[in-house]
Amino acid sequence: MGRSSYKKMSKTHRIAVLPGDGIGTEIVAEAIKVLHALKLPLQLDTAPVGGAAYELHGHPLPPATLALAKQADAVLFGAVGDWKYDKLDRPLRPEQAILGLRRELGLFANFRPAICYPQLVGASSLKPELIAGLDILIIRELTGDIYFGQPRGRRTAVDGHFPGAPEAFDTMRYSRPEVERIAHVAFQAARKRSKRVTSVDKANVLETFQFWKDIVTEVGQQYPDVELDHMYVDNAAMQLVKAPKKFDVLVTGNMFGDILSDEAAMLTGSIGMLPSASLNASNQGLYEPSHGSAPDIAGKGIANPLATILSAAMMLRFSLNLPEAADRIEAAVQTVLAQGLRTADIYSEGSTRVGTAQMGDAVVAALA
């Protein structure tokens, strides 16, 4: 495990750095460059996770990695996954690392902002007038729903595999406290924004989501200043591409949130720009780009590090209470975009194409 520390008079914040697979190592390296440049009292400890950890220790979330994450004030996470692990038993696949971290750290509240940067309006597949000024916050419940239902499996296993199994199943469930706490998170977030929450469900078909809707409505009575409406998930998927700016805070379950947050991310032009935060009840958090490990471009030095750099900014703001430092990073990202610097995913005619490391260097230079 690598280590680098900064000593100052103030509290040293402990950050577990888990770069993971694919482009994870490249983009996390750039975020670390930016954190170093801020000269904050941070102690960074790095550990393997995902496929990288499976190669080294035979498990995607080795006990030492989990322990490091648990004792840290925050986790800076890259990405996990590679097609080459698709044949592994499910508990050994790289994705289990992120699911395990969410479960073990109790990271139930996932914040996925979808913001359209003015300089990137042209990068969206939607018409500029539909997305200029877009600023949506998707709040995804992250430790319940069908992702963590019991039981799950396929009937009639043979030697741990399921050739010709007649059926497979996962169960969708939510408990009252799980829905109540995420609803509170959404209403409180809305109070700091435009005081509107859209709760997304499938109450017309699923009992779990009638329950969700009833509880969100109940909790909403404690926030009379916040306007609440409800939308079925299929309609929400449609409205997101039809009139995305009608949304402000959108709150939903784990599965629907997974899907809608990718959709919302792409409205902004590139998923390579979007950070995310996953918080538990004590504001300990895991911060990661909204995109995945992109094995197809790994090792080429062309991935966009801005989502990870912006995730580090969210980390400073939410878990370490260093809002000025977060502001500085976000302003520096705006500056490099205004300078016309673009990685391949956001490149357009007339801008300057840069690689991963050049983009990181430019953000560091813009901090000054």
Nearer to ligand IPM, 98 or 182 (CB): 98
135: contact with ligand IPM by CB under 6 A? no
Catalytic residue among 170, 214, 248, 262: 262
In this structure, the strands spanning 249-252 and 196-201 are parallel
Q: Which residues contact 250 (CB under 8 A, 6 or more apart)?
A: 136, 137, 138, 139, 197, 198, 199, 200, 236, 260, 264
Closest contact distance (angstroms) between CB of 261 and Mg ion is 7
Q: Which helix (H) or strand (E) holds 360?
A: helix 356-367
88: contact with ligand IPM by CB under 6 A? no
Taking CB under 6 A as the criterion, the residue among 98, 137, 179, 226 binding ligand IPM is 98
Task: Convert 154-222 into a string of H (helix), E (strand) and C (coil).
Answer: ECCCECCECCCCCCEECCCCCCHHHHHHHHHHHHHHHHCCCCEEEEEECCCCCHHHHHHHHHHHHHHCC
170 binds, among ligand IPM, Mg ion, none (CB under 5 to 8 A by kind): none
95: contact with ligand IPM by CB under 6 A? yes
Decide: 241 and 88 in contact? Cβ < 8 Å. no
* 45 in catalytic set: no
Stretch binding ligand IPM (CB under 6 A), from 41-49, 91-99, 267-275, 299-307:
91-99
Stretch binding ligand IPM (CB under 6 A), from 66-74, 94-102, 196-204, 230-238:
94-102
| Distances from the Cα of 118 to the Cα of 131, 263, 268, 343, angstroms | 9, 19, 10, 16
Closest contact distance (angstroms) between CB of 118 and ligand IPM is 26
Closest contact distance (angstroms) between CB of 160 and ligand IPM is 22
User: Rounded to an integer, what is the distance from CA 345 to the centroid of its chain?
Assistant: 18
Name the 3-class secondary structure at 5: strand
Tell me, residue by residue from 204 to 243, as one string, x for binding to ligand IPM by CB under 6 A and - for no binding. ----------------------------------------
* 170 in catalytic set: no
* 262 in catalytic set: yes
C-alpha to C-alpha distance for 260 and 270, rounded to whole angstroms = 15
Task: Give the residues lining the site for Mg ion (CB under 5 A).
Answer: 258
Task: Give the residues lining the site for ligand IPM (CB under 6 A).
Answer: 95, 98-99, 258
Q: Which residues are catalytic?
A: 147, 202, 234, 258, 262
